[in-house]
Amino acid sequence: MPNKLLPHPIYCDIFCVVVDNYGDAGVCWRLARQLAEEYDWQVRLWIDKPTLLDWLAPDHAQSPVTIVPWPDDLSPDESIDSPADVVIEAFACELPATYVAAMAQREKKPVWLNLEYLSAENWIGELHGKPSPHPRLPLVKHFFFPGFDECSGGLLREADYDQRRLAFDATAFRSEFGLPKKAPHEITLSLFSYPTAPTAQLMQALAHAEHPIRLLLPGSNRATVTQGALTVQSLPFLPQVRYDELLWMCDLNFVRGEDSFVRAQWAGKPFVWQIYPQADDAHRVKLEAFLARFIQKVGAGETVNTSAMATMNTFWHAWNNAGTLNWPAFAATLPVLTAVTQRWSAALARQPNLARNLVQFCIERLK
């Protein structure tokens, strides 16, 4: 949906300070690329670790997005001639003072957004889109919250996502990465986690599983190892588009943070989320909020296997270091979880995506 309402191109600057390794860069890159490719915005991505994009999007140099190293190349004394029409500070990173001053000098003030972290908590709907006037300058910042319902900004999802998923060839993917043909009753898992995850406990449980299990570790270089029912096999680091394919191929995906968490939901396969740990266990509130929303949504209007949902809840908490992993019980729920996750994914896809919501929000304020 390119802009048809304004007489000139829309210029957008996105500022990103990488805190969570790949996640922050991944979210910002997805948004920048979607705004540029699907809406014809002129986008600059200011990022303090631009080399991460060489891994996440090796073809980024061929995209219409301009990558700007930040903040090293913007000294306090450097002037800014042309701040953008739309300025997005990702995850409450602090903009350079010179850039903010230049924003205030514009006759037509920019639309200034704070793109917040994703949460399923109900209160985000109350704050989404709300203004926050600058204490000294004639500028207003708006909070923009990703989320799971119409009261939020939505989730990032590219226009060609379904087309890519339907064209995906799992057999070719396995052949490309040296994965053997799937054995009868084999469960294929992908694992992307923080160091605090109880991976040793998981692997011990998988080794004693009733059916063969192949555990794939993207971005790892360890040798292939088989112990009991479990075979652990490394994959190279996968760029974003190839990581989507891994999620589509697997029967169960262990994901972390925000970016891979969202991609697992679009994949429509059962997943286990490790939330980014926060002080005072603040992350557990967010974990509970998502689980409550997920279970409520997939159960709307029909009977849900409450035992399977309870098992999922217990396993997720254990994966976040609150309990003991019960793999046999969780594995037995996978057929149910496959169906409910597909229903969840389809419901999310019927809502406008984050980029579309953001574009509409900004255009209304740029008229």
Helix (H) or strand (E) segment spanning residue 236: none
Polymer length in residues for the chain: 367
94 Cβ contact list (under 8 Å, min separation 6): none
24 is catalytic: yes
Map tokens 């229903």 to a residue. Answer: 343
Separation between Cα atoms, residue 128 and residue 124, nearest integer Å: 6
Q: Which structure tokens are listed for 175? A: 């052949």
Check 85, 89, 258, 259 and give the catalytic one: 258
89 is catalytic: no
**H helix count then E strand count, the chain:** 14, 13
Residue among 97, 122, 115, 144 at smallest CA distance from 24: 115
Phi, psi of 254 (to 5 degrees): -95, 120
Check 24, 89, 116, 158 and give the catalytic one: 24
Map tokens 């087309």 to a residue. Answer: 163
Phi, psi of 19 (to 5 degrees): -110, -50
Active-site amino acid positions: 24, 258
